[in-house]
Amino acid sequence: MSEKYLRDQPGEMKMMYTGHNEALIELAEENKDVVILYADFPQDKAGEYFKDKYPHRLLNLGIAEGNMITVAGGLAAGGKIPFTHCHNIFAIGRGYNQIRQLAFDKLNVKIILCNSGMLWRFMGASHQMIEDIASLRAVPDLVLISPADAVEAKKTSKAAVEYDGPVAIRLAQPEVPVIYNEDYSFEIGKAVRLKEGSDLTIFSTGIMVLEALEAADLLSKDGIDARVINMHTLKPADEKAIKEAALETGAIVTVEDSNILGGLGGIVSEAVTENVLVPLQRIGARDRYGQTGSIEELKKEYNLTKIDIAKAAKEVVKKKT
Indicate the SS3 state at residue 244: helix
Write down the catalytic residue from 65, 131, 244, 256: 65
Long-range contacts, 93-101 (Cβ 8 Å, 24+) = 93/65, 93/129, 94/65, 94/66, 95/65, 95/66, 95/68, 95/69, 96/135, 97/66, 98/66, 98/69, 98/70, 98/73, 99/69, 99/136, 99/139, 99/142, 99/166, 99/168, 100/139, 101/73
48 is catalytic: no
Provide the CB-side half-sphere exposure for 232 (13 A, CA).
27
Read off the amino acid at residue 8. Answer: D
Closest CA to 283 of 316, 240, 307, 312: 312
Element spanning 195, H or E: strand 192-195
- Asked if residues 219 and 309 have their Cβ atoms less than 8 Å apart, the reply is no
Q: Strand 58-60 relative to strand 200-204: parallel, antiparallel, unpaired?
A: unpaired
Handedness of CA 56, 62, 67, 68 (dihedral sign): positive
- Asked if residues 187 and 9 have their Cβ atoms less than 8 Å apart, the reply is no
From the number of C-beta atoms within 10 Å of its C-beta (0-12, 13-18, 19+), residue 93 rates as middle
User: C-alpha angle 294/300/306, rounded to 5°?
Assistant: 110
Indicate the SS3 state at residue 27: helix
Q: Is 158 left (phi over 0), alpha (psi -120 to 50) or beta?
A: alpha
Q: What are phi and psi for residue 192, nearest 5 degrees?
A: -110, 120
The catalytic residue positions are: 65
